[in-house]
């Protein structure tokens, strides 16, 4: 997937070059933003219909095994707006969307936007910290591994990163939970903070940090390989460039040649990929949040599936997709901005 995205990017930039041998940044940005906007519209439409074709009647699924009269089921249908024809439901959905109003959750009986706002923070905290660590770790190991290609450091690190990357997230999370939670009692087994805690200030921060360790370690473990490999590959491409010979000829230490000359150039393709992966990371948090009962968006989506809570599913779908689209747009723009060759071409 990584290479496919890279190619796509290169093609796009090629196509953008006009006959005069250069395009304005704004025209390029406008085109990219237009594409993103179109994707967003598709997501909004798809978000409505994709979940409507799910089998079953939410009112029945939600009330399975409960004493319910047909009148009560009718009441529920009316409350959910399911008694309206589909096109009317769609129209209501579209009408409210510009105000970020995704309707009211069937299950929680509260506005979907409130629920998303309530859970977004936890997801951003988890994915933000994990992404920062995974990127730092991946890039650092990646460039060292490339520089000493074939060494034990390279083989050990690349190997273990790949193993962790292939490990199922659920399995790794449960193993950590079993060992550090259930057996050693070192770390809490779930949640964002101790349930019912009245702590504030530093004790609360510390409590949250303790709860974050396992989910963050899991998420970092299964994702840092992609940064490592991209960094390693990009740096390998730069390794035999002439300018490095020049740098060495100047008498610079090997370390400085790598850090000052090779790495900045190798970072260019890496940075865009980092952004592309960020969007995916947030979506990937779904599993981790479910294992560690982390009260974030992933957890909310997981819960919404069992309704099925259509408005909530639509809301989280649109939010997740928008994040991915925006990150892709950011990657496109950033690439253009960072690489003087593309800008001047």
The site for another protein (CB under 8 A) is made up of 54-57, 60-73, 75-76, 79, 107-110, 115, 118-119, 174, 177-178, 181-193, 195-196, 202-203, 205-206, 209-210, 213, 253, 255-256, 289-293, 295, 299-300, 302-303, 306, 308
- Residue 264: strand, helix, or coil: helix
Q: How far apart are CA 165 and CA 220, in angstroms?
A: 9
How far, in Å, are 165, 189, 238, 268 from residue 264 at the CA level? 26, 41, 10, 7
CB closer to another protein out of 103 and 269: 103
Q: How far apart are CA 289 and CA 299, in angstroms?
A: 6
CB closer to another protein out of 77 and 149: 77
CB of 37: closest distance to another protein in angstroms? Answer: 32
CB of 108: closest distance to another protein in angstroms? Answer: 6
φ, ψ dihedrals at 111, nearest 5° = -60, 135
CB of 137: closest distance to another protein in angstroms? Answer: 12
- Of 52, 13, 18, the C-alpha closest to 32 is 13
CB of 40: closest distance to another protein in angstroms? Answer: 27
CB of 185: closest distance to another protein in angstroms? Answer: 5
Are 102 and 314 in contact by the 8 Å Cβ rule? The answer is yes
CB closer to another protein out of 21 and 196: 196
| Residues whose CB is less than 8 angstroms from the CB of residue 101 and which lie 6 or more positions away in sequence, other chains included | 111, 113
Q: How far apart are CA 234 and CA 239, in angstroms?
A: 9
CB closer to another protein out of 45 and 209: 209
CB closer to another protein out of 21 and 71: 71
């Amino acid at each position: 997937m990584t290479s496919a995205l890279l190619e796509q990017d290169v093609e796009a930039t090629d196509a953008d070059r006009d006959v005069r041998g250069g395009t304005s940044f704004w025209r390029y940005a406008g085109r990219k933003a237009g594409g993103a906007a179109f994707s967003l519209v598709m997501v909004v439409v798809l978000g409505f219909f994709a979940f409507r074709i799910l089998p079953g009647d939410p009112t029945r699924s939600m009330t399975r095994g409960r004493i319910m009269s047909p009148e009560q089921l009718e009441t529920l249908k009316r409350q959910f707006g399911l008694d309206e024809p589909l096109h009317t439901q769609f129209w209501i959905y579209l009408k409210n969307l510009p105000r970020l109003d995704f309707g009211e959750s069937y299950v929680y009986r509260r506005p979907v936007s409130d629920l998303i706002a309530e859970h977004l923070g936890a997801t951003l905290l988890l994915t933000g910290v994990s992404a920062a660590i995974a990127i730092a770790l991946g890039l650092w190991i990646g460039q060292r591994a490339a520089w000493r290609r074939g060494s034990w450091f390279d083989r050990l690190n690349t190997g273990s990163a790949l193993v962790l990357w292939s490990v199922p997230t659920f399995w790794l999370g449960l193993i950590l939970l079993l060992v550090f939670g259930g057996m050693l009692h070192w770390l809490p087994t779930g949640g964002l903070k101790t349930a019912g805690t009245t702590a504030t200030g530093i004790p609360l921060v510390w409590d949250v940090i303790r709860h974050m360790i396992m989910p963050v370690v899991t998420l970092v473990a299964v994702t840092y390989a992609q940064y490592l490999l991209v960094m390693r590959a990009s740096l390998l491409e730069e390794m035999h460039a002439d300018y490095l010979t020049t740098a060495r000829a100047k008498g610079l230490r090997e370390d400085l040649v790598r850090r000052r000359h090779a790495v900045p150039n190798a970072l260019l393709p890496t940075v865009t990929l980092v952004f592309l992966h960020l969007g995916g990371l947030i979506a990937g948090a779904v599993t981790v949040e479910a294992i560690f009962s982390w009260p974030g968006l992933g957890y909310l989506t997981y819960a919404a599936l069992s309704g099925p809570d259509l408005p909530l599913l639509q809301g989280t779908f649109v939010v997740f997709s928008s994040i991915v689209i925006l990150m892709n747009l950011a990657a496109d723009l950033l690439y253009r901005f960072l690489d003087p060759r593309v800008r001047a071409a």
